[in-house]
Structure 1
């Protein structure tokens, strides 16, 4: 699949939104990818993750464990693991830091892939890299469905995306007039109590 085909999947699910959005990073954008609408559809999740799994196998070879941050990495992590013949685990936020709980473990020598849904700044990815550094195993790289940073995000490891886009985003105090004229909406989950 190419980037246009991936975005077509998001459009078909009603998940490519236009307006004034506050991203998880706090930055503002006229485009929001409501990935929950895509991942609520097993057929679409399978289509995207199967295509990404093919790219990942070609890039990294055998993967033993797919690890992602909750919430965004759970569904794509599970679906990627299914196509890669791997286990899927996820990290949860505990006292402001990501931790692998629930009996999840990684053995010495296991090859670990980090999975996320969308990458914008790479913060959740880097936090997952830090959480995995406390466990045995080797992080071989990372994966996401869409890299909306256009390849600029520092994720702390090699990143393979199914689609790479470069949607504009702005600091809250440096908005273009057309965006500043609209009330902002925060549809993401980071920072919810």
Structure 2
């Protein structure tokens, strides 16, 4: 697993000045699209995430945009169906927040790439729960160690991260 961590870092670690979704700035950034666009690395990440998928979920919920490729790869590995979760419901067509099947009475596992404060997960979970889904757990590749797990726990969501930022720096 240490080899995977070093490969993720080598592929996606950038330095400079970056504004995060939370509005905070950072001198380090992990460009998840760089590790998600590498099919070999993405598959290895999914294989390594597989044992972390709890047995009490019905489907994976990949968050737009970075969680989608991870959820697809993990779905292919686990055989679990998935839902494509938008940042907001579209205003045309089906007008759904989540595509790929119903969410009411479905136990979902949120799949995300990088978690900072957990804001994207919290936004999605609020909408999914309002639609009748049960969401108690989330899985990510990288926890930036900036309060995300604690904020998610306050909302009743347990975050499991493949790596913490300190393990990749």
Same fold (TM over 0.5): yes
Aligned: 1:112 with 2:115: no
CA deviation after TM superposition for structure 1 residue 68, in Å: 2.5
CA distance in 2: counterparts of 1:94 and 1:118, whole angstroms: 19
Distance in 1 (CA, whole Å) between partners of 2:58 and 2:49 is 16
Residues 1:138 and 1:42: Cα distance change in structure 2 (over 3 Å): same
1:75 paired to 2:69: yes
State the partner residue of 1:42. 39
* Structure with the higher helix share, 1 or 2: 2
Give the superposition deviation at 1:55.
2.0
Q: Which has the higher contact order (CA 8 A, sep 6+)?
A: 1
CA RMSD of aligned residues (A): 2.3
Offset, 1:106: 2.5
Classify 1:61/1:35 alpha carbon distance in 2 versus 1 (closer, same or farther; 3 Å): same
Give distance in 2, aligned partners of 1:140 and 1:24: 23
Alpha-carbon distance in structure 2 between the residues aligned to 1:38 and 1:137: 30
Give me the whole-angstrom Cα distance separating, in 1, the residues matched to 2:51 and 2:164.
16
Cα deviation for residue 94 of structure 1 reads 3.2
SS at match of 1:67: strand
Gaps in structure 2 of 5+ consecutive residues: 91-95
Residue by residue over 1:127-185, the C-alpha shift from the partner in whole angstroms, topping out at 9 and shown as x without a partner, is: 111121023342241100011126x3122300111001259xxxxxxxxxxxxxxxxxx
Q: How far has the Cα of 1:82 moved from its partner?
A: 1.9
Gaps of 5+ in 1: 168-193
Per-residue CA deviation, residues 67-121 of structure 1 (Å, 9 max, x unaligned), is 122112111111122222111112213379xx5244631253x321001000011
Q: Is the 8 A contact 1:6 1:163 kept in 2?
A: no
Partners of 1:95 and 1:78 in 2: CA distance: 20
Instruction: Return the index of the structure with the highest Cα Rg.
Output: 1
- Matching of residue 9 in structure 1 with residue 7 in structure 2: yes
Separation in 1 of the partners of 2:121 and 2:166? 18
